[in-house]
Amino acid sequence: MILISITNNCICIVPNNPIEMKKYILILVLCVPFINVVAQNDTVKVKKLSFEFSGFVNLNAIIDFNGLEKYDDFTTSEIPINPSPYEKITMFHMTARQSRLNFGANYLTPWGKLKGFVSGDFYTGNTGAKSYFRLREAYLQLGNLLLGQTNTTFGNPDVVPVTIDFEGPNSATTLRNPMIRYSNKIGKGWSYVLALEMRGPDIRPFDKVVDPFLAMPCLVGSINKAGDWGVITLSGMVDNTRYFTSDTVEKHEIGYGGALSAIIHTWKKSHFSIFFIAGKGASNFISDLSGNGYNGVPNLAKNKLVLLNSIGGFVAYTQNWNKKLSSNFIFSYIELEKTQLLKSTDFRYSNYALANLFYAPFSRFKFGVEYIYGELFVQNNENGDANRLQFLAQFSF
C-alpha cells in the first residue's frame, strides 16, 4: 500500500514496504503533470509588463500631371509658377517609404499603468533607392500626464480625413512636437488639455549667422465637448519668439493663435469634418506653410521682427458607402497676409481639393484611388496649379 498526500502543491509518497518502492517513480511521473495544473490554477499571476506591435505596409503610386518635384506630398506652396517645360510633363512615381512601424509597452506600477509608445516610418529626404527610418512619435504616458513627442495639442488630429496624399489638407495642423501635456475630464462629455510644446521659431532672421530661438516653450491648450452627435474642440496657443537684430540686440515678439475643430456625425457612420485656424506668428502649425519661415520676417527699416498673420481651414465629408467602400471629399484653403516684407514670389494663398475612394475586400487590407487639385497664388498675384492621381495598396497589422 502506498500513501499519497498533496499539500501546498507538494506530493508526499510513503511506501508501506520496500517491495512497492518500484512503483514510486511511476506514480510520481503520472502525478507531476496534474500537480503542475493545480499549481497554475491556484496561483493567479499578474502580468505587469506587456508589449504591442502594429503598423502598415504601404505602396503609393502617383501620376503627376504637372511635375511637382516632391512626389510623396502634394504641397500647394511648392506648385510651380510659370512652370518650365520639364514641370509641365506627366510623371510617374512609386514609393513604399510611408510604411510605418509602431511599438508600445504597458507596465503596471503603484501609480497606475505606464504606457510607452514609439512610432516611425521610412519617410526621409531621400527619394532614391535608399530610405532611412524616421522617428514620428516617442512618448510615455502615466495617467493624465504625457511626456514626449506626439501630435500637437493645437487642433484635433482626428478631424483630418484619411487621404492617400501624405501631406493631407494644406491647412491641417500636422506638427508632432516634443511636449509635456496634461489632460483631464471636467464633466459629462467635457475635457481639457494643457501642454508645453517645443516648436521651431520658423522666422527669417536679421543675420544668417545668428539664429532665432525660443526662451520658453509654446503654451497650448484646448477644451473639448463630445456627444453622440460628434465632437468639437477649441484650441489656443501663445509663445515668445526671441531673436537678435543686426546690431546684436536681443528682442522678442509674442505670437498667438486659435483653432476650431469639429466632427459632426450624419448617418451610416458618415460625418462632416470642419477645421478653422487663425493666428499671428502661428504659420508653423499650418501644414503647407510650416518650415518656410512664414512665422515672421525682419523689417530692416525699423530693425524689428514682424510676425505675420495667417488663416486657413477645411471642410470635408467622409462617406461610408457600405462595409467595404468609403470616400472622402475635401476642400481646404490657407492665406498669408500680403506685405512688402516678403518677396514677390513668396506665398500668398492656396486652394486644395481632393476626392478619394477606398475598397477593403477584407479586414486589414485595402486599395485606394485619389484625385487632388491645387492652386497657388504668390505675393505679386501670379498663380499656378497642379493635379495628380494617386493609387494605394495597404496592409495593416
> pLDDT by residue (tens digit) across 115-170?
999 999 988 765 556 678 899 999 999 999 999 999 999 999 999 999 999 999 99
Checking if the pLDDT of 11 tops 70, the result is: no
- Whether the CB-CB separation of 24 and 32 falls below 8 Å is answered with no
Looking at 292-397, list the stretches that DSSP marks H as alpha helix, in order from N- to C-terminal side: none
- Whether the CB-CB separation of 305 and 298 falls below 8 Å is answered with yes
* Best CA proximity match to 396, nearest among 136, 115, 162, 173: 162
Bigger pLDDT: 320 vs 7:
320
Look over the chain and give the mean of its residue pLDDT values, rounded to a whole number: 87
37: left (phi over 0), alpha (psi -120 to 50) or beta: alpha
Backbone torsions φ then ψ of 59, nearest 5 degrees: -120, 125
* Distance from C-alpha of 277 to C-alpha of 313, rounded to nearest angstrom: 6
Q: 3-state class of 28 per DSSP? A: helix
pLDDT of residue 248: 75
Range 277-284 average pLDDT: 96
Checking if the pLDDT of 44 tops 50, the result is: no
pLDDT tier, 26 (very low <50, low <70, confident <90, very high otherwise)? very low
Checking if the pLDDT of 312 tops 60, the result is: yes
Backbone torsions φ then ψ of 18, nearest 5 degrees: -60, -30
pLDDT of residue 256: 97
pLDDT of residue 125: 64
- Whether the CB-CB separation of 344 and 379 falls below 8 Å is answered with yes
With b for 16 or more beta-carbon neighbours within 10 A and e for fewer, the 256-272 pattern comes to: ebebbbbbeeeeeeebe
What cell does 295 get?
Answer: 512665422
- Whether the CB-CB separation of 259 and 275 falls below 8 Å is answered with yes
Residue 161 gets which letter from DSSP? P
Bigger pLDDT: 385 vs 6:
385
Domain ranges of the chain: 2-42, 58-95+142-396
* Best CA proximity match to 368, nearest among 377, 376, 358: 358
With b for 16 or more beta-carbon neighbours within 10 A and e for fewer, the 338-376 pattern comes to: eeebbeeebbbbbbbbbebebebeeeeebebebebbbbb
* Distance from C-alpha of 227 to C-alpha of 131, rounded to nearest angstrom: 43
pLDDT of residue 10: 46
Exposed/middle/buried for residue 138 (C-beta within 10 Å: 0-12, 13-18, 19+): middle
pLDDT of residue 129: 60
* Distance from C-alpha of 81 to C-alpha of 12, rounded to nearest angstrom: 90
* Distance from C-alpha of 73 to C-alpha of 344, rounded to nearest angstrom: 24
pLDDT tier, 180 (very low <50, low <70, confident <90, very high otherwise)? very high
Checking if the pLDDT of 47 tops 90, the result is: no
* Best CA proximity match to 232, nearest among 156, 151, 313: 156
Lowest mean pLDDT among 10-14, 186-190, 309-313: 10-14
How many residues are present in the chain? 397
Q: What is the pLDDT of residues 288-303, one digit of tens each?
A: 999 999 999 999 888 8
CATH topology of domain 58-95+142-396: Porin (2.40.160)
Q: What is the pLDDT of residues 58-87, one digit of tens each?
A: 999 999 998 787 777 899 999 999 888 888
Checking if the pLDDT of 24 tops 60, the result is: no
- Whether the CB-CB separation of 385 and 375 falls below 8 Å is answered with yes
